[in-house]
Amino acid sequence: MLNRREMLRSMAVGAGAAMGLPFAPENLLAASLNNATPKRIVFFMQNQGFDPKTCIPTGMTNSGSLAKAKLPEPIEALEPYKDRLHIINGLHGVHTSPSHSAFFGALGGYRGGDGVPPSAPTIDYELSKALPQTLLPHLCIGMDSIENMTTKPTVANLSASGAGQPIFMHSNPNHLYQMLYGGISTGDIRKQHEARSNVLSQIESLAAAKGRSLPTTDQQRYGQYVQGFKDVNGLRDRLDTVSDHLRQFAPEVDERYTNPEFETDWHDAILDLGISALTSGITNTLTIGSGRGEIFGAWKGLGVEQQGHNLGHMKQPDNPIWIKIRQYNSRMLVRIMEALEAVPEGSGTMMDHTLIVYTSNNADYQHTSGKNWPVMLLGNFDGAFKTGCFTQLDGKRPINALWSTLLRAAGQNVDRFNMSQQLAKKFDNGAGPLKELLV
């Protein structure tokens, strides 16, 4: 049986031929095929905060092994995976001004806020550049209420490719399915895909022509708008070249897509699409925004009638509502791990070369100062990270230090991430990666 590496290699050759291009890394579904250990990373950002008491075992105050510890009820679904888990407490993000949300600042490690544009690239985007190239370098998906996901199917709150360059999250699973798999579908989905593709192509042409007549001061900003259409249209063309391969990974379209009873039906469907993008090799960087980086969010499908900002004003420990939400998150993390574990890769599976980062865009709770920013890691990124343990830090290293640690593990020689020497003097008592986390 071909493993994923061999399967993708043969498929990539076909893709290169279909595009009339020589066999080269930039033409591969995943350039990681030339490396012994391709890597991928998933960021799962829950809004409203991540209280450390909902993840740290009772009585565990010092760094140590999780082997004999019992995980708290909110994350009990991860109990069978304790040996792959690393709980981190004591990072800070006071410089990001999280309050309701740090927005882009959570993954950027800089000051954020509602309506504040990104001031630099975020860590997920930087990692997508450091990791082997894929057809879609970076995919962002977001989960919210049905109303919000319907009226605003794309929003940009968490990820950015640079200053003033937000990356949009996809929240409507029907739209995302059309983008990823419309070219291999039949019936109404195929018709909608083709119609949408024709419209987007026409808009790109019209927008490009219109942009040339604008004043010089507006051309750059308008150029970003045009580039967005070019990216979408280019992705559609690239996916068409590997359609036979994608058929093996496309999720089944069922009533969750077309007739969802609750918003969690769409949450589950869009997670399936994110997982399929990873397992098929379309992308190696996935960002999940539960609550989409804002102060809203809904989980009526879990029996949680309250929604939105009020959820952030509740204490999370021992709260039945937050136990349900965190358990739901944990089950999602398990689904990602199980899916990656099922795909052979090299001498192991995809999960052996993956890291999942779970935290909040809101540090530890709503209206926080950001003085404590709990994080959970799942997986070891091809043996780079310690697992099966809890690490208590002293609150003097910022989340930027964790982000630079991820870049180091991805092969980038960086000591600081989005933090100048001047800022570091005030907010960071060290430099370089967090050695407590690395093997």
Helix 263-279 / helix 173-181 crossing angle, nearest 10 deg: 20
pLDDT digits (tens, 9 = 90+) for 399-432: 999 999 999 999 999 999 999 999 999 999 999 9
Q: For strands 344-345 and 348-349, give the pairing.
A: antiparallel
Residue 21: other Cβ atoms inside 10 A: 12
Parallel, antiparallel, or unpaired: how do β-strands 375-378 and 85-89 relate?
A: antiparallel
Contact status, residue 125 vs residue 160, Cβ threshold 8 Å: yes
Q: For residue range 61-105, what is the model confidence (pLDDT) as tens digits?
A: 999 999 999 999 999 999 999 999 999 999 999 999 998 999 999
For the chain, how long is the longest CA-to-CA vector?
68
What pTM did the predictor assign? 0.86
Percent residues over pLDDT 90 in the chain? 71
pLDDT at 218: 59
What one-letter code names the amino acid at 364?
A: D
Q: Which H or E run contains 297? A: none
Q: Tokens 């990873």 — which residue?
A: 278
List all residues 6 or more positions away from 306 whose beta carbon is below 8 Å from its beta carbon: 321
pLDDT value of position 11: 38
CA torsion, ordered 251, 256, 259, 263, to nearest 10 deg: -130
